[in-house]
Amino acid sequence: MDNWQFHLVDLFKISIPALLVFFTAQYLIRQTLEGYQQTLARQLKSEQTRLTMPLKLQAYERLALFCDRIFLPSLLLRVFERQLTVLQLKSTLLIQIQQEYEHNITQQVYVSEALWKIMLAARDEVVQTILSVAAPLDPQAPADVLRQAILQAMNERQVSGSEKAQEAIRKEIALYL
């Protein structure tokens, strides 16, 4: 064998084990780094959950309170005054609903889009009930006429939008607890 062939064989004897060591080390380092990255990601997610969970639960509480405050029987108890007219009571009810909504609008950041849409539908249903019940009434009639008509309309329904929204809140909270 020629001298260059010995050198070539020696080069292979050295290169092949060196390449095996290099690729093995590269594989082990990659696995270690990926494991470390996954651990960091889990820790970060856990920390985020620990920090945001109280905010989410507070948002659900506030939305449940929103549902209760726009529930027509509750709303009527809070704002009803005998000296008002139908028009004044209707306006007062609609203003109260709008104020409650504006007070809770930021909670949509913490809940699912589906739940927020249910909340909007509940609010819209309450507003529509007030408007539809008040439409045929004399605007200058005593407020008690509107109150009685609203309570009658509520009695005819099996479940209100507010009650459906509260049920949706409970279901979504159950996913986190």
Kindly state whether residue 156 falls inside one of the protein's structural domains: yes
Kindly state whether residue 36 falls inside one of the protein's structural domains: no
**Per-residue pLDDT at 148:** 96
Which residue matches tokens 């270690």? 32
Helix (H) or strand (E) holding 15: helix 3-70
Confidence grade of residue 92 (pLDDT, cut at 50, 70, 90): very high
Kindly state whether residue 89 falls inside one of the protein's structural domains: yes
Kindly state whether residue 148 falls inside one of the protein's structural domains: yes
What is the domain extent for residue 138?
53-176
- Number of domains present in the structure of the chain: 1
Residue 92 backbone zone (phi > 0: left; psi -120 to 50: alpha; other: beta): alpha
pLDDT tens digits, 22-76: 999 999 999 999 999 999 989 888 887 788 888 899 999 999 999 999 999 999 9
Token pair in block for residue 171: 């279901």
Chain mean pLDDT for the chain: 92
Kindly state whether residue 9 falls inside one of the protein's structural domains: no
Distance CA 115, CA 121 (A): 10
Kindly state whether residue 28 falls inside one of the protein's structural domains: no
Nearest Cα neighbor of 86 from 53, 134, 46 is 134
Distance CA 82, CA 13 (A): 103
Confidence grade of residue 170 (pLDDT, cut at 50, 70, 90): very high
**Per-residue pLDDT at 115:** 96
Confidence grade of residue 1 (pLDDT, cut at 50, 70, 90): low
Nearest Cα neighbor of 131 from 69, 32, 123, 31 is 123
Task: Say how many residues make up the chain.
Answer: 177
pTM of the model: 0.73
Kindly state whether residue 96 falls inside one of the protein's structural domains: yes
Confidence grade of residue 2 (pLDDT, cut at 50, 70, 90): confident
Distance CA 164, CA 115 (A): 10
Distance CA 46, CA 30 (A): 24
Nearest Cα neighbor of 117 from 62, 161, 68 is 161
Kindly state whether residue 66 falls inside one of the protein's structural domains: yes
Helical pair 72-79 and 143-156, crossing angle rounded to 10 deg: 160
From residue 105, how far is each of 75, 100, 143 by CA, in Å? Answer: 19, 9, 29
